[in-house]
Structure 1
Amino acid sequence: MDNDKKNTPSAKTDSLEQDIWHDPALHQALTQIRDAQAPRQHKRMAFWYTGMAACLLLAVVLFNKTPSTSELTVAKAKVEPLYYSTASAEQRAFELSDGSSIRLNASTKITVALSDTQRLVSFDEGEAYFDVQHKPETPFQIRSFYGEIHVVGTEFNVEQSKQGLRVSVYEGVVEVINRHGELIVLTQGQRVSLDTLGQFEEKTRFDEAAPVDWQHGLLNAQSIPLQLVVERLNRYSHKPLYLAPELNTKKVTGSFMLRDVPASVRLISELYNLKINENKDNIYLSAL
């Protein structure tokens, strides 16, 4: 037990502080300050040494007490993080050591770190479906650029795009916390989105009994921006798909095939009177 205490971050920081305060230069400076009879010039020099040493001490303490987010994640989990990703047009499923499972949509990257006290996921980009094992004593947290998701045991879908974050709950209860500390609780059949500023959009309902569209090779759009449709299709496209800026916010509704992007692009162009310009490098959609 004593050895464990000696190896804790707090013990290491305390030891480092002790070493700095016993530094000969600092000790001499403090002695000069305490000497009331010292000449004024020496007192100024002592003050300079003391200030420099204090700054050094503060920098070291802050450095040791303020690790990066990744270091915090690894330190809390006490294990090496696991990295999972998918390439364009690829889907993969993973089983975690706690019994949970994750299915990744195409062009997705996440990092997972598990311990006996907590389960942490860093959501970098893309889309994933989580089936979390029920363990009340071990919280399951997902951290993204737009906010955090807290669960105990449930099934839900997470999508992070350039337009924000969307969470859809298929079973159980999920807490979503935005960057401003505001919290929304989602139950089965509810979803919420966070915009690019981390603000909540209105909570909505969906048919949780329906299959998850992307797991069946489909993109089911219900009045969503065309920019988001294009971003989803790009996860499966062999050529980058671009959109004229004036079409970004155009709302689209329909069911499109993910594994046949050219056919989906043609359907979108027919439904919304758009022009397709395609060359060997990319596909560009614009208004007629």
Structure 2
Amino acid sequence: MTTENPNLPNDPREAAAYWFARVHSGNFTVAERERFKQWRRASPGNEQEYRALDEIWQATNLLPEDALRELLEAPEPPAELRRMARRRWLMGAGSVCTATVAGGVLIYGQMLEAPTHVTRYATAHGEQRTELLPDGSVIEMNVSTELVVRYYTKRRSVELLNGEANFEVTTSPDQPFVVDAGAVDVRVTGTVFSVRREQDHVSVAVQAGSVEVTSGRWWNREKARLTAGMTTQAQLGLPLSVEQADVAALTAWRQGKVVFRDQPLEDMVREMNRYLARPIHLTDSRLKRLRMAGVFTIQDADGFLQALQSNLPIAVVRRPDGGADLSLLR
């Protein structure tokens, strides 16, 4: 056990089951998320055990409700109950696999196979980068993004831990490409799409081809199929919302731009601050109600501030650290 989390079992398998239940419980806190990341990075065995559970869940999407509820509703179960719940969970997952693929034991073994390729990528605040994957697929990462790429014999997997990325996937019908963004999965064989994850909120936008988005709790998963020009917003506890949208505008960061269409100033400043080395601050709550449209270079703070002053009743005060304070003109 650890002093930071006295409920965490010593055994990596039991700890993985504990964290899996907490991640998908619907009340996973920010502090828990940080401890969870530290636990996964502390040992290769921890990462392997957690991925084993996660890959089974991705493969089945159908799990016994009673066993899952037992895990979710017991944030501090005794050790014996955790072991029993985990065994029932694995047995239930195996039986579901058997219903779709001959031999549950065989499928379980496939889910535990070691990946043929594993790479972790990350970008810092204000940093963007492009990575070429082994099969020719391309990932364009936006600022403050972290993801892990894992290739297996029969599937390609990207775990988007946080941030935003655009995926240009090489077609491979026998090796589906899945983006795991927490409670949301995006599955394709070959297409161009982007995924943005901010804590429990995930948005998906498709530029070409089609994707299948799956969201929701284990026993009540919801699916939506998106084609070019469509987006969806997914948040735990809320239904998927699918609509037509200007995907080029949503992914303008790939060209170093950001597009606003009659959006609140608060949202505009929050988005620009993702890219700026020195943040912009709103000093008056009344500024939040102001709205504006425009296209801006993502790291051009001066151009953005000049446009605000030209179109809105705003005063700009420069900070010694290079940032700026916005206030309402008297």
TM-score, length basis structure 2: 0.59
Query: Does the CA contact (< 8 Å) of 1:192 and 1:202 recur in 2?
Result: yes
1:203 match: secondary structure? strand
Q: Within 5 Å, give how 1:127-138 maps onto structure 2.
A: 127-138=164-175
Q: Within 2, Cα distance between the matches of 1:211 and 1:242?
A: 23
2:193 match: secondary structure? strand
Aligned: 1:267 with 2:304: no
Query: Does the CA contact (< 8 Å) of 2:125 and 2:275 recur in 1?
Result: yes
Aligned to 2:6: none
Aligned to 1:283: 324
Return the letter of the residue paired with 1:141: V
Over 3 Å counting, the alpha-carbon distance change for 1:197 and 1:211 in structure 2 is closer
Query: Does the CA contact (< 8 Å) of 2:206 and 2:247 recur in 1?
Result: no
Query: Does the CA contact (< 8 Å) of 1:83 and 1:111 recur in 2?
Result: yes
Correspondent of 2:298 among 232, 254, 258? 258
Q: Within 1, Cα distance between the matches of 2:292 and 2:160?
A: 27
Over 3 Å counting, the alpha-carbon distance change for 1:185 and 1:227 in structure 2 is farther
Aligned to 2:177: 140
CA positional deviation for 1:212: 4.4
CA positional deviation for 1:76: 4.6
Q: What's the C-alpha RMSD, in Å, of the aligned pairs?
A: 3.4
Return the letter of the residue paired with 2:231: R
Q: Within 1, Cα distance between the matches of 2:286 and 2:112?
A: 46
Over 3 Å counting, the alpha-carbon distance change for 1:277 and 1:139 in structure 2 is same
Aligned to 2:27: none
Correspondent of 2:206 among 158, 162, 169? 169
Q: Within 1, Cα distance between the matches of 2:181 and 2:326?
A: 30
Q: Within 1, Cα distance between the matches of 2:258 and 2:79?
A: 56
Farther-moved stretch of structure 1 (146-155 vs 57-66): 57-66
Over 3 Å counting, the alpha-carbon distance change for 1:160 and 1:267 in structure 2 is farther
Over 3 Å counting, the alpha-carbon distance change for 1:86 and 1:60 in structure 2 is same
Aligned: 1:100 with 2:141: no
Query: Does the CA contact (< 8 Å) of 1:167 and 1:192 recur in 2?
Result: yes
Aligned: 1:229 with 2:268: yes
Return the letter of the residue paired with 1:78: A
CA positional deviation for 1:172: 0.4
Q: List per-residue Cα deviations over 1:90-125 (Å, max 9, x = no partner).
A: 221111123211011122211221111222222122
Aligned to 2:160: 123
Return the letter of the residue paired with 2:206: V
Aligned: 1:190 with 2:230: yes
Q: Within 2, Cα distance between the matches of 1:258 and 1:237?
A: 7
Q: List per-residue Cα deviations over 1:233-285 (Å, max 9, x = no partner).
A: 22321112333555556544210111212321331343232333431344333
Query: Does the CA contact (< 8 Å) of 1:164 and 1:198 recur in 2?
Result: no
Aligned: 1:179 with 2:219: no
Return the letter of the residue paired with 1:122: E
Aligned: 1:156 with 2:193: yes
Q: Within 2, Cα distance between the matches of 1:83 and 1:188?
A: 28
Over 3 Å counting, the alpha-carbon distance change for 1:246 and 1:217 in structure 2 is same
The alignment covers a number of residue pairs equal to: 229
Aligned to 1:200: 240
Return the letter of the residue paired with 1:177: T
Correspondent of 2:277 among 238, 242, 245? 238
Q: Within 1, Cα distance between the matches of 2:155 and 2:285?
A: 43
Query: Does the CA contact (< 8 Å) of 1:162 and 1:196 recur in 2?
Result: no
Question: Unmatched 5+ residue regions in structure 1?
Answer: 1-8, 10-54
